[in-house]
Structure 1
């Protein structure tokens, strides 16, 4: 089994210190220095416990203990009992195994000289170096990086990996860096993606990743709009206004919507589902005029009537007559092909594909007649 040195004893001492401080009835009366020492001790305990977990994971994996006892992988065993997502568990196991390949690094983690996050960066950097550099050069790189962990945070260590390589193997550094960048660019292009999710509380979450070159283009445009908006705010509030981190995030979010609305205003987007991209809001005239109540959008999310009024300032208003069940009665049948008005009526009625079990939204659907147009049958949505 992998040796942990004094890891177990160190964890017990630090954990006892933290536990005792938290249970003390006079915690609120501690001095600022005492609270800072407590925070430092707790952080050190976290690093040591993470190092112990990595040691245990490597031993479990070496023995195939999870498969022997629970008929599952190590990551799945963590997932079942500890409340992590399976993706997180796979990352923990993969990271622990990679860090275990470097003896000097694991020893430094065991005595608290390197945190888990620093260790992950160092191990990842060392893994990218070619084996033909030789054990002696790789060993010197490992020693140097472990020593630098005392003064550099994980982000700074990422840059230090290649500075160390340049020092230890200057004749190979450019070649290795070029190969690394090519691999990263291919991976970034392959793994790019964007997800939009409604949290059910009035917010759409945007999460994704794109290649760094594409990201720089996006950042340049968004920052330009954000800077312009900030200057306008300064003109209004005066030069003494301070730009806080929170303000910058708000300005960038507003900049993104500026791009979207400009795109829509000039009708630059391609048609989607037989019509230009639209946001459909269903409301009655009295609510629109009064600005009271809540309105449902085509995707099922709700917005206030006041927000619907804002949208109505610059939109296409399509009147239609509905029956008591909400079925559109009067939008006309003067055209054989489905026009935007008729499509809007089907959006209001069906809210998406009507095929049993299909959950596609209106924008992903085409409109078809159940029976021939001349027979007077209402249309329906389907993918």
Structure 2
């Protein structure tokens, strides 16, 4: 729940309030002063990961026995909200902690969990997941990266793109074909430890319209040997089921961040129109300004209520793929609408990159694309009708 919202989310607790204070303090000290610089260099500083790990802010919802915080998805949501509150779109912790670590925790063998989760929790390992390819996005059947069994190893060959945390990742979960027909591939998830992987290389850090400080890269695998012990879950052909199991949480993360970003944009704009004058009076005195902000505040409140309900359902283990798809497309769509209205109220200043509202605008657009495009979300919903 952002400062601008007057509604306290029903999933919040006193423990989460304390976490919010910790997260807010850490982000103000370690992240906010560096956002512009990270935007120019295309990634956060590597030691931010270990500092966040030392502060206990990585893998908040991973069990303590593996080095995590022992919390729930609600703990991850608080950190996501606090990042949005300062306009932080650079630190890819939601991918690292909320997605990569959960693939390992939910589907890894005991040996795999003990091998990788403590490093992810400490920040010694940076995690990424490599699904998208130059020729395959939301449609997993189009994946061409292939892993062929060769004795005790797999030989992994293919290319991935748009990979968050890609240039810094020490641990990459790679979606690959391990068999099956061209139109019905058998998919598996292989975990690549990049530091010692011969044949693994990174392309450029991609120059995006928004999310300038978020490390997004191309990854290449040329006959990379991956021990069969690093096949997630230990059995081939489980990849599609593993992906379907984890995608609802990924989409809920996007919904949570979209609502928080909406509230952030609204707070920035309310402050601006109360200070800026035109024709001898505050912008807030104009009916168009008040009505536009009334609409934006309502959009944000409705989205907050729905996404809060989805968080509660997820905490109870009841959020299904359809509900997550609804939350993802609706919240990200509303975000783009609200932030665009907010930019308009800033006038020319809203188009200047040094203004946070301009960065919020460019950062928002990709929310409707990644995690499965909103068109795919509607297809998932339609299939349930």
TM-score range for the pair, normalised by the shorter chain length: under 0.3
Greater radius of gyration (CA):
1
Q: Whose RCO is larger (CA < 8 A, sep 6+)? A: 2
Higher helix share: 1
The normalised TM-score by structure 2 is 0.25
The normalised TM-score by structure 1 is 0.25
